[in-house]
Amino acid sequence: MSKNENNETNFGFKNVDKLEKPKMVKDVFDSVSENYDLMNDLMSLGIHRLWKRGTVELTNLKQGDSVLDVAGGTGDLSLLMSDIVGENGEVILSDINEKMLKLGKARSIDKNKLNIKTAVADAENLPFSDESFNCITIGFGIRNVTNKEIALKDFQRCLKPGGRLLVLEFSKPEMPVISDLYDFYSFKILPKLGKFFAQDEDSYKYLAESIRMHPSQEKFKEMLESANFKKVSYDTMTAGIVTLHIAEK
C-alpha cells in the first residue's frame, strides 16, 4: 500500500484525504440539519423510531445512570434515555456538528428534559474522563467516522466496567430481492426525496453511498473485539436494512 493510500479514506464512493473527511461530513450535516428529522421520517416511513426504541430497550440503563449519546444529532436516542435515567441521571448528547446539537438542545428544553446536556465532541477524541458512563450509544453515526478503530477504543475508555455500547447502523440486506429493492430506493429515490424536500440531492447521495462503504456485520464485530469489548453480538432489523451491535466493557 502506498503512502498516499494510507492517508486516504472513503467519502461515499470517493477516496479523500483522511484529514479532509471530518469537515466534509460536517458540511453534509450542516446542509441537512434543518430538515433532518423530517427526512428521517420520510426515508424510513417512520420506522426509524421503532429501531431507536428497540435500541434503548437494550441499554440496561437504570435510574441515576450516566449515558453518552455519540453523534446524537437532534437527540432522538437522548430523549428516549432521559426518562430511564431520571432526574438523578445524566444524558450527554454529543455531536461534531453544532447546528445539529442546537436543534437537539432546543428539543430537549421544549420537552422539559433537564437532565440532557450537550457537548461538541469528536467521536475519535472524546473530551470525557476514563470510565465516565454506564452506557454509550451511537445511532447512524459510526459509518461517518473516519478512524472507526480509534473511536471504538475511545468508547471503551469512557465506559465504566460492565458498561454497554450500542451501535445502531444501516447495513446491506442479505436477501437478493430485498437488496435489489433497497439499492433502487437508495440510489434512485432517496436523492430525489432529498432534492424535493430538503433542496439537497448530493448530501443524500452521499448518505446512500456511505451505507454501502460501511463494514459488514461480521467485520464490525471483529473491530469491536479488537477494541477489547466483550460479549459482542449483533441483531438485524427490517430484513437486514439496519443492524444493532451490542458490546460490553
- Strands 8-11 vs 14-17: parallel, antiparallel or unpaired: antiparallel
- pLDDT tens for the chain, 249 residues long, are 444 557 899 988 888 999 898 888 888 888 888 888 888 888 888 999 999 999 999 999 999 999 999 999 999 999 999 999 999 999 999 999 999 999 999 999 999 999 999 999 999 999 999 999 999 999 999 999 999 999 999 999 999 999 999 999 999 888 899 999 999 999 999 989 888 888 889 988 998 999 999 999 999 999 999 999 999 999 999 999 999 999 999
- In total, how many domains does the chain have? 1
Q: Which SS3 state, helix, strand or coil, does residue 86 take? A: coil
Res 249: pLDDT: 97
**Is there a domain that residue 201 lies in?**
no
Q: What is the DSSP letter of 96?
A: S
**Is there a domain that residue 161 lies in?**
yes
Give me the residues paired with residue 15 across strands: 10
**Is there a domain that residue 182 lies in?**
no
Q: Which SS3 state, helix, strand or coil, does residue 183 take? A: helix
**Is there a domain that residue 119 lies in?**
yes
Res 117: pLDDT: 98
Residue with cell 446512500: 208
**Is there a domain that residue 110 lies in?**
yes
Residue with cell 435489489: 180
**Is there a domain that residue 149 lies in?**
yes
Q: Report how far apart, in Å, the C-alpha atoms of 224 and of each of 11, 131, 149, 166, 193 are.
A: 22, 17, 8, 11, 34
Q: Which amino acid is at 112?
A: N
User: What is d(CA 184, CA 195) in angstroms, rounded to the nearest whole number?
Assistant: 16
User: What is d(CA 191, CA 25) in angstroms, rounded to the nearest whole number?
Assistant: 17
Q: Which residues form the domain of 95?
A: 3-15+22-173+206-248
Q: For residue 86, give the CATH number of its domain.
A: 3.40.50.150
Q: Report how far apart, in Å, the C-alpha atoms of 99 and of each of 3, 12, 22 are.
A: 35, 22, 15
**Is there a domain that residue 9 lies in?**
yes
pTM for the full predicted model: 0.92
**Is there a domain that residue 188 lies in?**
no
